[in-house]
Structure 1
Amino acid sequence: MKVLESNRLLLKPLSFNELLYISENMIDNIEPSIELEAISHSVKLAITMKLEKMKSISEDTQKWYTYWLIINKQNQLGVGFIGFKGLLNGNGYSEVGYSISPNYRRQRLMTEALETLIRWAHGFRECRGIIAKVSKTNIGSNKILNNCNFRVNSSTEQENNYILEFEI
């Protein structure tokens, strides 16, 4: 799979084995280096769930399941992760999830990473848009989705359900 590029970032799709290295604390086996603060407990849990899903899918659909490593071009360091939670649903949407090192927050890097992944997904004719679920208390994530033109589709007491619909 090819690396995606924006002004300040590269998005590198991680292989099954690279995700396994992260889950087993063997990140020295991954190029480029990943900042340790980017690998939170919740990221490790998400990677464990991704690995379970990826065991039973074909290689050509892995791009919809894997995490893409967010690489800061300036220092060539992995600073976060972004990716879809699986193939498109019956309506043509896939759910996105992401995380970035606390050291790289408030620099619009995640907005840039999400915009890059949106452009990639928009290249698939069958993809009608992207959804996201975010805790209402996660101010940064809600702001990122608003910056990328997502709109709140529904909400509960705890979370907002966002949607970005592609124009056809």
Structure 2
Amino acid sequence: MLETPRLQLIPLTHAQLIRYSRLPASLAMELNLKPVRRVVPESLKESLGRIILDVKDNPDNYLYYTIWTVVSKELNIMVGDICFKGEPDDNGNVEIGYGTYDDFAGKGYMTESVGAITEWAHSQKGVSAVIAETLKENIASQKVLQKSGYAQFKETQNMIWWRHLKNETYE
């Protein structure tokens, strides 16, 4: 678990991922949290089966495969999710994905979460950069990455790729 002044980032176990995908209220109960009304984005729904299998198949490195639920300590409720998209590649790059539940958007939770998970990633062996991609029209996500010290390094017609290098900050 990672902790910031306002948040806890809790990496879900294999069993918790199954509850997350099928019975979200039971996961909240297990974690002693208030239940939250949330809509799982289609892109995450499509990935959940693979995520659950990857966590089961990689017990020693499951932190790179699981969903980390983001919990507001003050509200005692899940406010979003963040994850890695696998272990670092041969160049030391590890990719993150994240999302805030609609009721909690605009409160800085994801900026705080991205900062914490980026710092954690840079403390891990074999990680030289943390990367993320955003849709060009997703200005909120771009602001999260900018505030977290990421810099653009690639752009296509629809996407922007961002990178945070170990021991480097961006203004």
Tell me the residue number matched to 2:82.
Answer: 82
Partner amino acid, structure 2, of 1:94: V
Tell me the residue number matched to 1:148.
Answer: 148
Contact 1:38 1:79 in 2 (8 A): no
Q: Which runs of 5+ in 2 are unaligned?
A: none
Tell me the residue number matched to 1:110.
Answer: 110
- Please list, as runs of the form range in 1=range in 2, the aligned pairs for 1:35-74 lying within 5 A after superposition: 35-37=36-38, 39-57=40-58, 59-74=59-74
Contact 1:12 1:68 in 2 (8 A): yes
Partner amino acid, structure 1, of 2:21: S
Can you list the C-alpha shifts for 1:109-157, whole angstroms capped at 9, x where unaligned? 1000111111111211321010111110111111111111111111100
For residues 52 and 158 of structure 1, the distance between their equivalents in structure 2, rounded to whole angstroms, comes to: 30
Can you list the C-alpha shifts for 1:76-102, whole angstroms capped at 9, x where unaligned? 101111010100000011100001111
Tell me the residue number matched to 1:7.
Answer: 5
Tell me the residue number matched to 1:27.
Answer: 25
Partner amino acid, structure 1, of 2:54: K
Query: What TM-score does the superposition give when structure 2 sets the normalisation length?
Result: 0.89
The alpha carbon displacement at 1:35 in A equals 1.7
Contact 1:70 1:82 in 2 (8 A): yes
For residues 9 and 47 of structure 1, the distance between their equivalents in structure 2, rounded to whole angstroms, comes to: 24
| Worse-matched range after superposition: 35-44 or 67-76 | 35-44
For residues 129 and 98 of structure 1, the distance between their equivalents in structure 2, rounded to whole angstroms, comes to: 17
Contact 2:25 2:36 in 1 (8 A): no
Contact 1:70 1:79 in 2 (8 A): yes
Q: Which runs of 5+ in 1 are unaligned?
A: none
Number of aligned residue pairs: give it.
165
Query: What TM-score does the superposition give when structure 1 sets the normalisation length?
Result: 0.90
Partner amino acid, structure 1, of 2:126: E
The alpha carbon displacement at 1:9 in A equals 0.3
Tell me the residue number matched to 1:18.
Answer: 16
The alpha carbon displacement at 1:75 in A equals 1.3
Tell me the residue number matched to 1:166.
Answer: 166
Using the aligned pairs only, state the percent identity. 26
Contact 2:71 2:77 in 1 (8 A): yes
The structure-2 alpha-carbon separation of the partners of 1:38 and 1:12, relative to structure 1 and needing over 3 Å to count, comes to farther
**C-alpha root-mean-square deviation of aligned residues, in Å?**
1.7
Task: Tell me the secondary structure at the aligned position of residue 47 of structure 1.
Answer: helix
Task: Tell me the secondary structure at the aligned position of residue 63 of structure 1.
Answer: helix
| Worse-matched range after superposition: 7-16 or 20-29 | 20-29
Partner amino acid, structure 1, of 2:22: E
Task: Tell me the secondary structure at the aligned position of residue 37 of structure 1.
Answer: coil
For residues 75 and 38 of structure 1, the distance between their equivalents in structure 2, rounded to whole angstroms, comes to: 19
